[in-house]
């Protein structure tokens, strides 16, 4: 029976609120509306529910869904069957606004295969829900959820979909509606009766998260032998242990093993030899490896290599390689040439589960300190399956009898082995495995949901190298350090019972009482909030979770920031995310702020705020913000859990007070920037063209109009500033403003068309003609070498043609944006090629005559194209006079409309202009052009992002959160991780300890801050240091020198309070929320050796003793204290400021 249900959704901050649900046996069919839901409007996601459990029901619930439309391919008569099952059919067009970050990872072809793929997920506990979330966000064609069981309170520890109102309902039925909200383009259906192997034929990939080995072997055997094969994945999470098994069939094609762009090199020379030696320019290191296949293009002289035939690389080196080819009789190399890697498909032959259990081959490792763990867990998971089959239940947490039974099963399996038998069974580890076997922990489900979700994408698309074939993982280090009392593991009839069965009620209480600061509520932040809510973090009256983010929700966020819906677009991220998290767990005590955590908001995030925190979790997307939070955590002694993603890659870093180095202790090398002259005159790749295009866009449409307005708002102040600057930059600014208001001023749309057409001529014809006039093709450098040698490419000017659509498209987009800056209405006819061509034909293009004395910058070290002149001041005065004349010609109140680049709106013509600029320039230089999407990735500096790596990173971080909130773990218990789900690669290692500085019997690290209370005087501070064998010779506050031993008058300050000196000399008012200030002290030991000491905090406003006691830190008045980073000797820097600040 089917019925139609209408859902009314508010446009406020609600998410996953209780909804009207279908009663068992009924199906819900709701149609999707395209418009964003507003308050009081109707939102109808499409939901399919099949309750009969038959293949026919699944395939026929919606005759248009095409869930089973690949059935006709199962038997192809005499045709050779395909060796892998990828999505087929005609998928819908890709919504590039929604999926832009995912497209940057996968590309269009992979996305099309995903959109045509049907996936089954069996088992809708926490792991199944996480996998479903990730693949629905990715955008497959359909997902069928299978589960015969009912929701239990136990499930609420790990499943973000269920609420307490769902207890007793079928898991699949209770899941479908909320999962549908994640992506209305995915058809979601359910199966709630026993699954048969014949039903699997409707899918390209099937995932089992809670099935017996016996059933799994039966299903896998069917999938393995099916034509075409069906990709089979089995995964389990058992407490702090997890496993994945993949079988993608007897022959599975991987089209792209790593997802990286093909490597290229610019050729400098090729020898006539056997083998030939190919040398490339030293612009960038080559990334080729021995055995790679490469093709050549644009080679002059040795043209035989331009035949497109792949050739093998040998003896690969940073800037050269040998070619497995005899070029002795080829033409002599003259110049030019590009060498490009050819990525070859790879065929993998998977073993079925039954065979792989006996002969697993190499396990995928995650932690080399646990090298022997995977073979052990391979037995343990089989033993657990045997335990469940024989006793029809899981082992009971804390039951020694059940643990011994599991140990016995494991030993029996091990004894039966003839190959791969283990010499020793770790019984302690098996105890942990047994006690937590029933629990699905949220962090483990999140991590494995990311791993398995990515494997589903691989199975459906052939993109990235599959997991081959077993992966085992554990995080027993997350357990409390002290022995656990079995009574502490017993359920207490709460939503956290599964977590309590592993960690105990004592740690659960610590989680609930925690005060947590999550910085950022984008993709990482949404996952962290979900995890925190499920774990019970900050869910008691003593707990508090604060999240802050100053950004608002955009459409492109919805493909991975899963707490947001399309009706939330434009709303504050932190507010929506907080409301969503509170809907997952109503006990969550959460405060959402919209402040950027920065020096400017330290009145919001003040000392009291930081001192009360238990832990800080970063969910940021830029290094500068991370460094700031890192410094605050250093200062206030707070653990910082750091993570980040880049496409399929993710990393986590634990920053633990006094145990590890801080985030800022090591930096990535800066990204290599192309020289300015390369970008502006000598580009040799599309990145150079796009960098130039964005620079021109911002200069023409944002900076110059803004500069015009700056002048028009206050002409006197503006011209005075230009005169005072008196440099080449000021001259350029004035010239651009005058040009905009005089020669290039537009009053009608035809003027805008004229401007765009003349810009085309200037950029792509005249400038190239000038460049090649100044440097002809046969030009030589001062030492006689050819000027146009690699990597330089000799350009050719373009001839504008109204018959070339790309030429007209540039004029159309550029004229529309130019009209916007002048506030000119845009006529409809501009989008008609014929009418636009007619308007362009009216433009008179003056002839171009190259200048003989033109100056073109060729110095790669130059940072500006402006050339200074001794006459700059005189020229500026003349320009100001011209500008004043221009102003008089303007209508009263005239202002321009600067256009700020926005990459994520495909209707605003911003990327049309930038991609047109870049591609026309590429055409000048013979560089391959790119489509608008690729241009958006590069020019918009889009960071590739997918839900799977985000989920994995946050799961790993939350496994560390258990350790942080418990306390007492050693540095070797913590794990930093780098993972690449594309390969797949997992690399875990303990964090690096901080550097230790020693002096006499003391030692300190970057974490140490020395604290002095009781509002001390300058004399007391100096004496306090002297007692430590340290002689202070310079004390500074900010940029002000409070004391230096070289200045006799400073001795008059000895008995003054340091706070008074800071206020008087520093001329600052310490705000009411600030109870201390920090001084940097330069010291020497008794042998006159400089000693770097920590920063010293001077408390002047409160009883430090009571504050420190509140923080549970030992306090000794005027003694060493835990704290911050080293103080350096800054005497030289301070001396120059001394006279003005102290009145010496």
Report the C-alpha gap between 1008 and 637 in whole angstroms: 8
Burial 127-148 (b: 16+ CB within 10 A, else e): bbbbbbbbbbbbbbbbbbbbbb
Report the C-alpha gap between 534 and 155 in whole angstroms: 10
Which residues are CB-neighbours of 377 under 8 A, at least 6 positions away?
Answer: 241, 243, 472, 474
Q: Are 100 and 264 in contact (CB under 8 A)?
A: no
Q: Are 548 and 591 in contact (CB under 8 A)?
A: no
Burial 91-104 (b: 16+ CB within 10 A, else e): beebbbebbbbbbb
Residue 316: Cβ-neighbour burial (10 angstroms; 0-12, 13-18, 19+)? middle
Q: Which two tokens stand for residue 246?
A: 């993949």
Q: Whose structure tokens read 């998260």?
A: 209
Report the C-alpha gap between 914 and 939 in whole angstroms: 8
Enumerate the active-site residues: 677
Which residues on neighbouring strands pair with residue 1034, listed in sequence order? 1044, 1082
Q: Are 764 and 924 in contact (CB under 8 A)?
A: yes
Torsion 550-552-556-561 (CA) sign: positive
Which residues are CB-neighbours of 460 under 8 A, at least 6 positions away?
Answer: 86, 87, 113, 114, 117, 119, 140, 204, 205, 231
Half-sphere exposure of 592 (CA within 13 A, CB side): 22
- Helices vs. strands in the chain: H and E counts, helices first: 34, 37
Q: Are 1011 and 1115 in contact (CB under 8 A)?
A: no
Neighbours of 427 (CB within 10 A): 13
Which residues are CB-neighbours of 1129 under 8 A, at least 6 positions away?
Answer: 1034, 1082, 1090, 1092
Distance of CA 804 to the CA centre of its chain: 39
Phi, psi of 809 (to 5 degrees): -65, -40
Q: Which two tokens stand for residue 30?
A: 């709701």
Report the C-alpha gap between 493 and 119 in whole angstroms: 35
Q: What is the DSSP letter of 1049?
A: G
Report the C-alpha gap between 956 and 367 in whole angstroms: 13
Report the C-alpha gap between 1022 and 333 in whole angstroms: 74
Burial 630-646 (b: 16+ CB within 10 A, else e): bbbbbbbbbbbbbbbbe
Report the C-alpha gap between 663 and 631 in whole angstroms: 9
Q: Which of 568, 551, 472, 750 is nearest to 182 (CA)?
A: 568
Report the C-alpha gap between 1134 and 1045 in whole angstroms: 13
* Alpha helices (runs of H) in 181-228, residue ranges in sequence order: 213-225
């Amino acid at each position: 029976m089917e019925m139609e249900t209408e859902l009314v959704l508010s446009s406020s901050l609600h998410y996953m609120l209780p909804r009207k649900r279908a009663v068992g046996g009924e199906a819900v069919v709701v149609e999707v509306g395209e418009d964003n839901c507003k308050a009081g409007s109707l939102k109808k996601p499409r939901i399919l529910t099949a309750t009969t459990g038959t293949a026919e029901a699944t395939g026929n619930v919606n005759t248009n869904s095409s869930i089973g439309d690949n059935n006709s391919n199962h038997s192809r008569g005499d045709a050779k069957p395909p060796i892998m099952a990828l999505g087929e059919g005609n998928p819908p067009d890709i919504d590039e606004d929604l999926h832009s970050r995912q497209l940057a990872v996968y590309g269009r072809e992979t996305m099309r295969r995903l959109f045509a793929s049907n996936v089954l997920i069996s088992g809708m506990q926490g792991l199944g829900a996480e996998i479903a979330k990730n693949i629905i966000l990715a955008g497959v064609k359909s997902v069928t959820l299978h589960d015969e069981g009912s929701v239990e309170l136990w499930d609420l520890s790990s499943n973000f979909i269920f609420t307490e109102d769902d207890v007793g309902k079928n898991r699949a039925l209770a899941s479908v509606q909320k999962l549908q909200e994640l992506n209305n383009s995915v058809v979601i259906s359910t199966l709630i009766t026993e699954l048969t192997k014949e039903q699997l034929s409707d899918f390209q990939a099937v995932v089992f998260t809670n099935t017996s080995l016996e059933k799994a072997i039966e299903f896998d055997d069917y999938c393995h032998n099916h034509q075409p094969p069906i990709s089979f994945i089995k995964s389990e999470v058992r407490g702090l242990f997890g496993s994945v098994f993949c079988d993608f069939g007897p022959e599975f094609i991987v089209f792209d093993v790593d997802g990286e762009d093909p490597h290229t090199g610019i050729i400098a020379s090729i020898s006539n030899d056997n083998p030939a030696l190919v040398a490339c320019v030293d612009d960038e290191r080559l990334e080729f490896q021995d055995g790679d296949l490469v093709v050549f293009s644009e080679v002059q002289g040795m043209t035989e290599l331009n035949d497109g035939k792949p050739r093998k690389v040998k003896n690969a080196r940073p800037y050269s390689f040998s070619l497995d080819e005899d070029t002795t009789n080829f033409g002599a190399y003259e110049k030019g040439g590009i060498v490009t890697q050819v990525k070859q498909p790879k065929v993998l032959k998977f073993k079925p589960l039954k065979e792989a259990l006996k002969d697993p081959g190499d396990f995928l490792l995650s932690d080399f300190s646990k090298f022997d763990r995977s073979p052990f867990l391979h037995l343990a998971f089989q033993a657990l399956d045997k335990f469940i089959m024989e006793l029809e239940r899981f082992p009971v947490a804390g039951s020694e009898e059940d643990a011994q039974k599991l140990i016995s099963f494991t030993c029996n399996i091990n004894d039966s082995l003839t190959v791969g038998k283990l010499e020793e069974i770790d019984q302690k580890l098996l105890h942990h495995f047994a006690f937590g076997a029933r629990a699905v922990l949220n962090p483990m489900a999140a991590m494995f949901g990311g791993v398995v979700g990515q494997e589903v994408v691989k199975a459906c698309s052939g993109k990235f190298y599959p997991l081959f074939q077993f992966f085992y993982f554990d995080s027993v280090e997350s357990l409390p350090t002290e022995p656990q009392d079995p009574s502490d593991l017993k359920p207490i009839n709460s939503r956290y019972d599964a977590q309590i069965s592993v960690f105990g009620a004592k740690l659960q209480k610590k989680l609930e009482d925690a005060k947590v600061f999550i910085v950022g509520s984008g993709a990482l932040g949404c996952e962290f909030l979900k995890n925190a809510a499920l774990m019970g973090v900050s869910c008691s009256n003593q707990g508090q979770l604060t999240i802050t983010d100053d950004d608002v929700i955009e459409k492109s966020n919805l493909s991975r920031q899963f707490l947001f819906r399309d009706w939330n677009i434009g709303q504050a991220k932190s507010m929506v995310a907080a409301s969503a998290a509170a809907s997952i767990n109503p006990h969550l005590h959460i405060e959402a702020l919209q402040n950027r955590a920065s020096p400017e908001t330290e009145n919001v995030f003040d000392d009291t705020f930081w001192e009360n925190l238990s832990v800080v979790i970063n969910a940021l997307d830029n290094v500068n913000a991370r460094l700031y939070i890192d410094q605050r955590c250093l200062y206030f002694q707070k653990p910082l859990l750091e993570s980040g993603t880049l496409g399929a890659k993710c990393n986590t870093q634990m920053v633990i007070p006094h145990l590890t180095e801080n985030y800022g202790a090591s930096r990535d090398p800066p990204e290599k920037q192309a020289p300015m002259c390369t970008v502006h005159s000598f580009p040799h790749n599309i990145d150079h063209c796009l960098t130039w295009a964005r620079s021109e866009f911002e200069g023409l449409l944002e900076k110059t109009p803004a500069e015009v307005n700056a002048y028009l708002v206050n002409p006197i102040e503006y011209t005075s500033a230009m005169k005072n600057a008196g440099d080449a930059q000021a001259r350029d600014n004035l010239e651009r403003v005058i040009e905009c208001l005089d020669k290039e001023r537009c009053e009608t749309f035809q003027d805008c068309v004229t401007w765009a057409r003349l810009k085309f001529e200037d950029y792509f014809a005249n400038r190239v003609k000038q460049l090649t006039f100044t440097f002809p093709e046969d030009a030589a450098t001062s030492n006689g070498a050819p000027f146009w040698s690699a990597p330089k490419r000799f350009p050719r000017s373009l001839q504008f043609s109204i018959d070339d659509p790309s030429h007209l498209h540039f004029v159309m987009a550029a004229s529309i944006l130019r009209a916007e800056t002048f506030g000119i209405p845009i006529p409809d006819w501009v989008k008609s090629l014929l009418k636009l061509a007619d308007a362009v034909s009216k433009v008179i293009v003056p002839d171009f005559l190259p200048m003989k004395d033109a100056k073109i910058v060729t110095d790669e070290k130059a940072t500006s194209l402006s050339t200074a002149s001794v006459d700059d001041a005189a020229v500026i005065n003349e320009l100001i006079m011209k500008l004043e004349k221009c102003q008089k010609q303007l209508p009263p109140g005239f202002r321009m409309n600067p256009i700020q680049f926005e990459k994520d709106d495909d209707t605003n013509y911003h990327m049309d202009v930038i991609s047109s600029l870049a591609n026309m320039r590429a055409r000048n230089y013979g560089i391959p052009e790119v489509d608008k999407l690729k241009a958006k990735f590069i020019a918009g500096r889009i960071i590739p992002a997918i839900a799977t790596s985000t989920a994995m990173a946050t799961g790993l971080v939350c496994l560390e959160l258990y350790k942080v909130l418990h306390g007492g773990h050693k540095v070797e218990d913590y794990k930093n991780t780098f993972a690449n789900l594309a390969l797949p690669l997992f690399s875990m290692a303990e964090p690096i300890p901080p550097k230790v500085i020693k002096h006499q019997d003391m030692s300190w690290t970057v974490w140490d801050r020395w604290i002095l209370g009781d509002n001390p005087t300058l004399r007391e501070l100096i004496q306090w240091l002297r007692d430590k064998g340290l002689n202070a010779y310079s004390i500074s506050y900010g940029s002000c020198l409070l004391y230096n031993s070289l200045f006799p008058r400073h001795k008059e300050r000895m008995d003054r309070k340091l706070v008074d000196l800071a206020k008087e000399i520093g001329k600052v008012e310490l705000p009411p929320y600030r109870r201390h200030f920090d001084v940097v002290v330069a010291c020497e030991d008794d042998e006159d050796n400089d000693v770097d000491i920590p920063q010293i905090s001077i408390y002047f406003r409160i009883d430090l003793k009571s504050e420190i006691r509140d923080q549970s830190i030992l306090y000794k008045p005027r003694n060493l204290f835990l704290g911050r980073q080293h103080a350096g000797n800054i005497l030289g820097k301070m001396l120059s400021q001394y006279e003005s600040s102290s009145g010496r």
